[in-house]
Structure 1
């Protein structure tokens, strides 16, 4: 259940971890006017810059963190990963690994799939933005493999949250896109291919031995009253943030 007073969702899979800040914002509780109503956090939208900044401050206040501790990037639907040691705003990265406390990786979404990875033992986290292009390029397993190979994470310890995004029922794609996904992650509805991004990422993580996975039931198109949807709103909409990191 989402209330209109909820600025963000906190995944159940993370609720037992002290000092962890993780979740996905909703479109509620902000100051933006239509069509960005109301908690628009997308700095590259045509919303008023000062209003977007106020919205970011509101979210951070609700999380108990400082806006200057966010690590964000202009996303390009590719597979580059930023191993962040200093919070900043970069360009070209669609996944951000937080390597130390008080760095909160955050990716913008409005139909694409957010994936959050948490290693409570090594205290490293990753926020991943995965649309169909990033999914095909394997950005989710690439980020997970980096945690496993470089940061001493163990697959049995990793926790994954696959967040709100466009669902199988609403994600109609052309034949050329569908051809790039495995049979287990696509289906035909009235001779049109549909792709299941959540299932795709769950299978990719499972292949790495990651079994602790929570999959959000929310669809950004179907539940557009709670989330921004680029497809439903024909491109004129705001952005949520999927965020993760440890407080010191």
Structure 2
């Protein structure tokens, strides 16, 4: 299975279906789907998060299948305890235990990962400076401007320019399905809200794109893949409610000394440092 999914490419290996972005040389970017695991409904089938009520043994098996499919050693992955904050951390070691919703690193031994099920995983890469980042931007995080703060922190911590950074959005809840109440008219700019058939819809893609533009990022890829519309492919809180699984977005630089199929080197830790994924904002 190698199908174009706009900027992403839909792939399959040993029954595991996932998205791969191949536009950044020297960087692997993957996003899991819900296809190829062993979990039973409502976590069917490739739920990768331990904290949703799914059987732990199923999640462990799902993770093994997914990471084998994308040729990544999970022991090198750094997760963060996601809280819908605007906290972005610099990661120097794969054993770091973090709390927040964004991570940045310049280490080739580290892979960064965030969990989502409608919220946006924003991937960043500065090819000139060889720095990567990932941000979990839900509605609350977007209101706090986490995408822009992530860019600002990259620039400040590594003394780089925003123009050197490229951004990519993962599958998430689109304006076609993100219906909100009238109280949102007071909370958000009108340009982010769409009124249709006596209902109001929030355009998170436009909101995050504008934040990135304001931060100085020039190259922004917004594939407009709605996780709710494609709930056969992705987990969605809006479509399924609180009791559902979660997708995982990961990004890591390829070590020049390694070949495809074993791209990442690093720690021998357990790879689950402080991890807690998506929390519903519904």
TM-score where L is the length of structure 2? 0.81
Please state how far the C-alpha of 1:216 moved relative to its aligned partner.
1.9
Residues 1:9 and 2:19 aligned together? yes
Are 1:61 and 2:68 matched, yes or no?
Answer: yes
1:9 CA drift (Å): 1.0
Contact 1:106-1:243 at 8 Å conserved across structures = yes
1:146 aligns with 2:161: no
Q: Residue 7 and residue 141 in structure 1: after superposition, are their counterparts in 2 closer, same or farther (change >3 A)?
A: same
Is 1:155–1:209's contact at 8 Å kept on the other side of the alignment? yes
Residue in 1 that maps onto 2:274? none
Aligned equivalent of 2:51 = 44
Aligned to 2:229: 222
What residue in structure 1 maps to residue 29 of structure 2?
Answer: 22
Give the equivalent residue in structure 2 for 1:184: 191
1:237 paired residue among 244, 258, 267: 244
Q: Conserved in 2, the CA contact under 8 Å of 1:13 and 1:214?
A: no
Please give the per-residue CA displacement for 1:72-106, whole angstroms capped at 9, x wherever unaligned. 12211111112111124745311111231121111
Deviation at 1:196, TM superposition (A): 0.8
Counterpart in the other structure of 2:178: 171
In our comparison, the structure showing a higher alpha carbon Rg is 2
Deviation string, structure 1 residues 179-202 (Cα, Å, up to 9, x no partner): 322222111123332111111111
1:122 aligns with 2:91: no
Bigger drift between 195-204 and 4-13 goes to 4-13
| Deviating more after overlay: 166-175 vs 129-138 | 166-175
Distance in 2 (CA, whole Å) between partners of 1:183 and 1:35 is: 35
Count of matched residue pairs: 245
Provide the TM-score with structure 1 as the length reference. Answer: 0.92
| Alpha-carbon distance, 1:177 to partner | 3.5
Q: Which secondary structure does the structure 2 equivalent of 1:232 belong to?
A: helix
Question: Are residues 233 and 99 of structure 1, via their aligned partners in 2, closer, same or farther at CA, if it must alter by over 3 Å?
Answer: same
Deviation at 1:49, TM superposition (A): 1.2
Q: Which runs of 5+ in 1 are unaligned?
A: none
| 2:99 match | 92
Instruction: Kindly state the Cα deviation for residue 37 of structure 1 after the two structures are TM-superposed.
Output: 1.0
How far apart in 1 are the matches of 2:98 and 2:143?
21
Which sections of structure 2, spanning at least 5 residues, go unmatched? 4-9, 256-282
